[in-house]
């Protein structure tokens, strides 16, 4: 994993530097150690969300888990995405920036601490406070941009004002009476405001990110989230062994889980993402789509743990429901990867393999061994992509020779 800047932009770190836009064609732009630390701290919130989803599904409280998980994960993903895109455009590598990032890391840990409360009691107050801490730190960053980057001053001020207004709305929402169903319309309205803010703010002058740097950031976080899925499944298997459960079904699930995660990694990185430089809008929409990839990858860990619970007799749901705890995240992941990474290049060539695999995965819970069959289907899709890649490369070499 490349976690250092091989050719640093500045030879000596300073306390403060003007925050101006970094060139989008920096040849040696890499993920920094600070960004990796941020990801590792932030994944604590991902782990908490997946763990609570596992608990709800295992207790057959499916509606509650499925209803809350996307909302909780939105707060996690959106806060991470805003830091990531901003850092790609403006990281000045100074001490003030590091300390501001420390505040954002503290907010991420508060979010992680509030996840169980949100799932168990429907109380989003702690998550909201952590989210507001992170977002107000972003306001400070945007004000630095407004001061140092005259070309994008109006854009930076729009971001700062918009973030402040939205955080006030999140705080005000906590004071509303009633249960989750009453609060849902307000939640969706503020989420819509969050998603539309970048499109409104960027009108005076768009913020442009380094395309290779931003794809590496998303790729590394995908790897971390997939790793969390492996960890969740392994802990579930360990618990089952401690209870004296027979080894064969557990080893079967563990083996299938490894194949599934490896295939998901392979499919994500099968083709370099090269279309983000087309426009800032394309890059922004691509980043939005990553929500489905991150959320489904994290949910896979919960699903594998539920499958282990079913095999050990500790789950309170049936075989089909336990199968869908794995199948549904995998199908969502496949369609999201096809939309974001395959469709812009392959047009219709890989549409049938991806969509057919996703459809067949959704049928695996109706079979006696859903996880193993899902692993087989994904392995077949990986083999198909390898063959297609070799044919494409061969056709390109033939065209070049002629």
Taking only the tens place, the pLDDT of each residue in 285-317 is 888 999 999 999 999 989 988 888 888 877 788
Average of per-residue pLDDT across 277-287: 75
Q: Encoding tokens for residue 268?
A: 């994500």
- pLDDT at residue 1 is higher than 80: no
Residues 215 and 246 grouped into a single domain: yes
Residues 20, 24, 29, 35: is their CA dihedral positive or negative? positive
Query: Where does the pLDDT of residue 391 fall: very low under 50, low under 70, confident under 90, or very high at 90 and above?
Result: confident
Compute CA distances 85 → 107, 175, 286, 367, whole Å: 18, 31, 12, 43
- pLDDT at residue 46 is higher than 60: yes
Residue-number span of the structural domain to which 74 is assigned:
33-201
The pLDDT, as a whole number, for residue 393 is 67
Residues 146 and 249 grouped into a single domain: no
- pLDDT at residue 177 is higher than 80: no
Indicate the residue among 179, 201, 223 that finishes a domain.
201
The pLDDT, as a whole number, for residue 263 is 95
Neighbour-count burial of 360, counting CB atoms closer than 10 A to its CB (0-12 exposed, 13-18 middle, 19+ buried): middle
The pLDDT, as a whole number, for residue 5 is 39
Assigned domain for 281 exists: yes
- pLDDT at residue 344 is higher than 80: no
Indicate the SS3 state at residue 58: helix
Query: Where does the pLDDT of residue 402 fall: very low under 50, low under 70, confident under 90, or very high at 90 and above?
Result: low
Assigned domain for 343 exists: yes
The pLDDT, as a whole number, for residue 7 is 42
Q: 181, 77, 66: which is closest to 127 by C-alpha?
A: 77
The answer to whether the CB of 52 falls within 8 A of the CB of 113 is no
The pLDDT, as a whole number, for residue 131 is 93
Residues 159 and 66 grouped into a single domain: yes
First vs last C-alpha separation in the chain: 39
The answer to whether the CB of 124 falls within 8 A of the CB of 114 is yes
Alpha carbon 271 to chain centroid distance? 19
Assigned domain for 13 exists: no
- Structure pTM? 0.89
Residue with more model confidence, 235 or 302? 302
- pLDDT at residue 85 is higher than 70: yes
* Rounded-to-integer distance, Cα 145 and Cα 17, Å: 11
Minimum mean pLDDT range among 9-13, 178-182, 348-352 = 178-182
Query: Where does the pLDDT of residue 3 fall: very low under 50, low under 70, confident under 90, or very high at 90 and above?
Result: very low
Compute CA distances 386 → 182, 360, 379, 395, whole Å: 49, 20, 11, 14
- For residue 100, give the DSSP letter: H
Assigned domain for 27 exists: no
Residue the block writes with tokens 């306390």: 15
The pLDDT, as a whole number, for residue 4 is 37
Q: 290, 329, 287: which is closest to 306 by C-alpha?
A: 329
Query: Where does the pLDDT of residue 24 fall: very low under 50, low under 70, confident under 90, or very high at 90 and above?
Result: confident
Compute CA distances 64 → 54, 58, 395, whole Å: 11, 12, 51
Query: Where does the pLDDT of residue 243 fall: very low under 50, low under 70, confident under 90, or very high at 90 and above?
Result: low
Highest mean pLDDT out of 3-12, 85-94, 292-301: 292-301
- pLDDT at residue 334 is higher than 90: yes
* Rounded-to-integer distance, Cα 115 and Cα 130, Å: 11
Indicate the residue among 201, 227, 255 that finishes a domain.
201
| Per-residue pLDDT tens over the stretch 183-226 | 678 888 999 999 999 999 988 888 888 888 888 999 999 999 99
Assigned domain for 21 exists: no
The pLDDT, as a whole number, for residue 179 is 52
| Per-residue pLDDT tens over the stretch 102-159 | 999 999 999 999 999 888 887 888 999 999 999 999 999 999 999 999 999 999 999 9
Average of per-residue pLDDT across 247-276: 84
CATH code, 236: 1.20.1410
Residues 260 and 182 grouped into a single domain: no
Assigned domain for 15 exists: no
Instruction: Calculate what percentage of the chain has a pLDDT beyond 70.
Output: 88
| Per-residue pLDDT tens over the stretch 246-259 | 667 777 888 888 89
Query: Where does the pLDDT of residue 245 fall: very low under 50, low under 70, confident under 90, or very high at 90 and above?
Result: low
Residues 251 and 319 grouped into a single domain: yes
Residues 347 and 277 grouped into a single domain: yes
Residues 113 and 215 grouped into a single domain: no
Number of domains in the chain: 2
Residue with more model confidence, 282 or 159? 159
Query: Where does the pLDDT of residue 59 fall: very low under 50, low under 70, confident under 90, or very high at 90 and above?
Result: confident
Assigned domain for 347 exists: yes
Compute CA distances 8 → 22, 26, 29, 31, 99, whole Å: 12, 10, 8, 11, 19
Residues 230 and 248 grouped into a single domain: yes
Assigned domain for 20 exists: no
Instruction: Calculate what percentage of the chain has a pLDDT beyond 90.
Output: 46
Average of per-residue pLDDT across 15-41: 85
Summary mean pLDDT of the chain? 85
Quickly count: other Cβ atoms within 10 Å of residue 387's Cβ.
10
Residues 240 and 378 grouped into a single domain: yes
Q: What is the 3-state secondary structure (H, E, C) of the chain?
A: CCCCCCCCCCCCCCCCCCCCCCCCCCCCCCCCHHHHHHHHHHHHHHHHHHHHHHHHHHCCCHHHHHHHHHHHHHHHHHHHHHHHHHHHHHCCCCHHHHHHHHHHHHHHHHHHHHHHHHHHHCCCHHHHHHHHHHHHHHHHHHHHHHHHCHHHHHHHHHHHHHHHHHHHHHHHHHCCCCCHHHHHHHHHHHHHHHHHHHHHHCCCCCCCCCHHHHHHHHHHHHHHHHHHHHHHHHHHHHHHHHCCCCHHHHHHHHHHHHHHHHHHHHHHHCCCCCCHHHCHHHHHHHHHHHHHHHHHHHHHHHHHHHHHHHHHCCCCCCHHHHHHHHHHHHHHHHHHHHHHHHHHHHCCCCHHHHHHHHHHHCCHHHCCCHHHHHHHHHHHHHHHHHHHHHHHHHHHHHHHHC
The pLDDT, as a whole number, for residue 394 is 67
């Amino acid at each position: 994993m490349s976690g250092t800047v091989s050719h640093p932009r500045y030879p000596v770190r300073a306390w403060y530097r003007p925050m101006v836009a970094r060139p989008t064609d920096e040849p040696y732009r890499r993920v920094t150690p600070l960004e990796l630390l941020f990801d590792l701290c932030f994944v604590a919130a991902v782990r908490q969300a997946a763990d609570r989803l596992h608990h709800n599904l295992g207790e057959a409280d499916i509606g509650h888990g499925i209803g809350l998980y996307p909302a909780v994960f939105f707060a996690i993903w959106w806060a991470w995405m805003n830091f990531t895109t901003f850092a790609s455009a403006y990281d000045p590598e100074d001490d003030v920036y590091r300390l501001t990032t420390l505040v954002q890391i503290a907010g991420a840990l508060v979010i992680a601490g509030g996840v169980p409360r949100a799932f168990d009691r429907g109380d989003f107050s702690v998550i909201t406070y952590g989210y507001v801490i992170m977002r107000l730190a972003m306001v400070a960053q945007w004000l630095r941009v407004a001061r140092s980057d005259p070309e994008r001053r109006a854009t930076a001020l729009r971001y700062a004002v918009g973030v402040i207004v939205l955080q006030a709305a999140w705080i005000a929402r906590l004071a509303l009476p009633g249960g989750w169903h009453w609060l849902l319309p307000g939640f969706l309205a503020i989420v819509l405001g969050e998603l539309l803010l970048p499109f409104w703010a960027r009108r005076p002058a768009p913020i442009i990110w380094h395309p290779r740097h931003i794809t590496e950031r998303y790729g590394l976080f995908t790897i971390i989230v997939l790793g969390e899925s492996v960890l969740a499944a392994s802990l579930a298997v360990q618990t089952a062994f401690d209870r004296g459960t027979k080894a064969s079904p557990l080893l079967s699930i563990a083996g299938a889980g490894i194949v599934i995660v490896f295939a998901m990694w392979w499919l994500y990185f099968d083709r370099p993402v090269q279309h983000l430089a087309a426009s800032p809008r394309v890059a922004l929409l691509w980043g939005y789509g990553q929500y489905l990839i991150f959320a489904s990858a994290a949910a896979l860990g919960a699903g594998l743990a539920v499958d282990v619970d079913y095999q050990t007799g500790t789950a309170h749901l049936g075989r089909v429901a336990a199968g869908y705890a794995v199948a549904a995240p995998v199908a969502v992941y496949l369609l999201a990867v096809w939309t974001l990474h395959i469709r812009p290049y392959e047009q219709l060539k890989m549409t049938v393999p991806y969509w057919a695999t996703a459809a067949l995965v959704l049928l695996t819970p109706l079979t006696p061994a859903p996880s193993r069959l899902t692993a087989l289907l994904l392995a077949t899709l990986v083999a198909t992509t390898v063959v297609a890649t070799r044919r494409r490369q061969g056709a390109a070499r033939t065209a070049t020779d002629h």
